[in-house]
Every structure is written in C-alpha cells, then in structure tokens.
Amino acid sequence: MYAPVGITAPAFATDEFMAQYFFRLAHNDGYDSTQHDLSLNHLSRAEYWLLNRTAGTSAAKVSLGWKAGRSGAVDVLSDLRVARWNGTSWKDEGNGGTTGTMEEGTIQTLNPISTFSPFTLASSTINNPLPVVYIYFTVSLQPNRTVLLKWETGTETGNVYFEIERSADSRAWSAIATVHSNASHLYSFTDAAPAKGVNYYRIKQVDQDGAWSYTTTRLVRISNDNKIFVWPNPVTDNLYVQVPLTGGLLEIIEAGGRIVQTQVISNTITTIPVQQLANGVYILRVKQGTEAFTEKFIKQ
C-alpha cells in the first residue's frame, strides 16, 4: 500500500530518519484520539505514521499523503491539518500547504518539527470526514453458546453502518450482519450460529462516501463440551483463558501443589499476566460453581 510521508531537507546530510505506516486506528494502539488540541475537530480513524529521527538534530517540516478510499473523504483542503502525538495528546501542527486534489494529495506542517513521533491527518472543522473512534470492542461467549459482540464509538463523522465479519482462520472473511449507526453510539450483535472451533471477529465501519476502516480482531473458541481453552502454550508474558461461563475463580498451581496466583473470572476470555512466574510446568484450575476444570501449561 502506497501511503507517503515526507520531510523537507534536514540541515545536515548525516541526519537519519525512519518512517513506518499503519493502516489502522491510532486510538487502538494507545494514542488516545479523544485527547487533542481544541483547534482540531477530529482525527483520522483510518491510518497513522510513525516518523522518528534516529540520528542528528535537524528539524524539518513533515508532509503526509492522503487518498480517497484509504484515508476517507477530503473535501475542504483548507481545513485539513497534520496532527502530532506528543506523548499525552494530539497537537495541531497546522496546514503549511497542500498538493494534489481532494481525491489524492499531500499536506505539510505549518512549521518545522523538532520532536518526532506518531503523525496523522486531522481536520479543524466537521469537514474532511477521515472515517470512527472505538471506545471499546469486546467479544464474549454466552452460556447458550452464542457469541455477543459489543462496541462503543466516540465521534462518528459521516458513519453510515458497521459490517460484522467472521473468519475461521483470520484470513478468509465473511460478512454475517450489518448494524446501522445510531445516536447513542452504543452497539451490540449476537452471533447465534458460531462455527465449532475458533471464530475470529472484526467490524468494518463504512462512511457515507464508501470509505471504510477495520477494528482490531477478536476471537472465541467453540467446543462441543465445557472444556477450557488456554493459549499460548508454552507462554512467556500473558496467558489467555477461555471458560464456558463468566464468574468463578482461576488458580495457578505450581508443581509442588501450592497456589501461586488467583484471579476472579469476569469475562469468558481472561488475560492472566505470568511474567513474574518462574519457568516451569503449572496447572491452571478453573472453579465455577460446583465444577472445576484443569489444564496444564508451560511458562518459559
């Protein structure tokens, strides 16, 4: 995918810069899209760039490229802005000039940048609907073996509908439902017929001009019985556990039989940090009501 980012000539030829492009929501990667200068009406919800100076001290103006279909709709060039993440919020780096057309072009910062970090497109007004900030997106297995998807959005400039997609391998996707935009920005959908085994889910958000963007992927596992699922195994950092029902207690037991960690089950998929555990073999025990399930895992 061609998504250009550029800089003006640095003061020293020995200065070095490194750039990386992400075709996804910056908000979902920890760059909070709700925190921004008041001069910015909204930020891109489709893409962002990491631009870092790896050697030297030169400041330079930064330019970002847009293209309809990839970036969303750009309809008022004078309102377009470059936004820069400063560690806690998005700063308005202005509009130092644009090239191209509303279909495809570039925008440059108003002034040279001396501190490099994530950059994205933004707009100073409701114009330029650069396609939806997700506050959360969760997927959980229900007691009746259906799968409940829930999500909430922030701003929805130009949003028309959401398309729910499901996959068995995270590569071949099929649309299974459409949910239209509403004023509350709160949404849910129940997959009444998930496939046996692994089910991956994602949401495709579609704007009124046809521009679209995807959420991150979530998964659940469906079995023919009430087994628990534990992955990855072996594990280094975080252990993921899927259980038949919410509620109950998770226990990690070392080889000698001592319980070394416990955690309350608040969702059908639970994340357990295990970095602090010594390497070795452990038993994971799930206690729900009168039932108990165990699974062995290896900490590396």
Amino acid at residue number 116: F
Q: What is the pLDDT of residue 48?
A: 96
Cα distance between residue 9 and residue 59, in whole Å = 9
Q: What is the pLDDT of residue 74?
A: 84
Last residue of a domain, one of 193, 221, 249: 221
SS3 155: coil
Cα distance between residue 93 and residue 276, in whole Å = 42
* Residue at 129 is within a domain: no
pLDDT in tens, 116-167: 999 999 999 877 866 666 778 999 887 677 889 999 886 666 678 999 999 9
SS3 92: strand
* Residue at 205 is within a domain: yes
Q: What is the pTM of this model?
A: 0.49
Torsion sign across C-alpha atoms 56, 62, 68, 72:
positive
Q: What is the mean pLDDT of residues 63-78?
A: 85
pLDDT in tens, 247-260: 889 999 998 889 99
**What's the structural domain count of the chain?**
3
Q: Can you give the CATH number for the domain in which 210 is found?
A: 2.60.40.10
Find tokens 């631009």 and name the residue.
51
Cα distance between residue 141 and residue 128, in whole Å = 38
Q: What is the pLDDT of residue 146?
A: 85
Beta bridge partners of 136: 152
User: Phi first, then psi: what are they for 29, rounded to 5°?
Assistant: -100, 15
SS3 171: coil
Q: What is the mean pLDDT of residues 222-233?
A: 76
Beta bridge partners of 167: 173, 200
pLDDT in tens, 186-216: 999 999 988 888 899 999 988 776 667 778 7
Query: CB of 197 within 8 A of CB of 220?
Result: no
Cα distance between residue 168 and residue 101, in whole Å = 40
Cα distance between residue 220 and residue 194, in whole Å = 9
What is the percent of the chain where pLDDT is above 70? 93
Same domain (yes/no): 211, 157: yes
Last residue of a domain, one of 206, 221, 236: 221
Domain span at 266? 226-299
